[in-house]
Amino acid sequence: MPRSDPVEQPHLTELRYLDLGLNHITEVGLDALAASTGLPKLVYLGFRHNKASDPTPQLITERNTNHGASYPTLGRELQARHGKRAWLSEAPAFHRPSVALY
């Protein structure tokens, strides 16, 4: 019996914020996440400290002033292969959750 893609689950379709930092995710796993259509409303992905580089836009600040965002090459490459993903293309300041739930 083939395993289903864990991201392709109906209960995840409304997910807007996801932090996958510190999970040892490789570029293969990151590519699978970008290829997935199971997270259509995801606007923020925390991806720091994984084996793969963080492909998400990074806020550029100086002295608490927002100067825009930088868009890593890896994020642009993922979108070229799999299509636009909000979590790879929109500036993080507008989507970062203000409250962390633990």
Distance CA 3, CA 32 (A): 14
- The pLDDT value given to residue 2: 46
Closest alpha carbon to 29 in 11, 10, 9, 55: 55
Closest alpha carbon to 54 in 64, 63, 44, 68: 44
Q: Percentage of the chain with pLDDT > 90?
A: 62
Mean pLDDT score, 51-74? 84
User: Each residue of 15-57: pLDDT tens digit?
Assistant: 999 999 999 999 999 999 999 999 999 999 999 999 999 999 9
Question: Between residues 49 and 4, which one has the greater pLDDT?
Answer: 49
pTM here? 0.78
Distance CA 81, CA 87 (A): 15
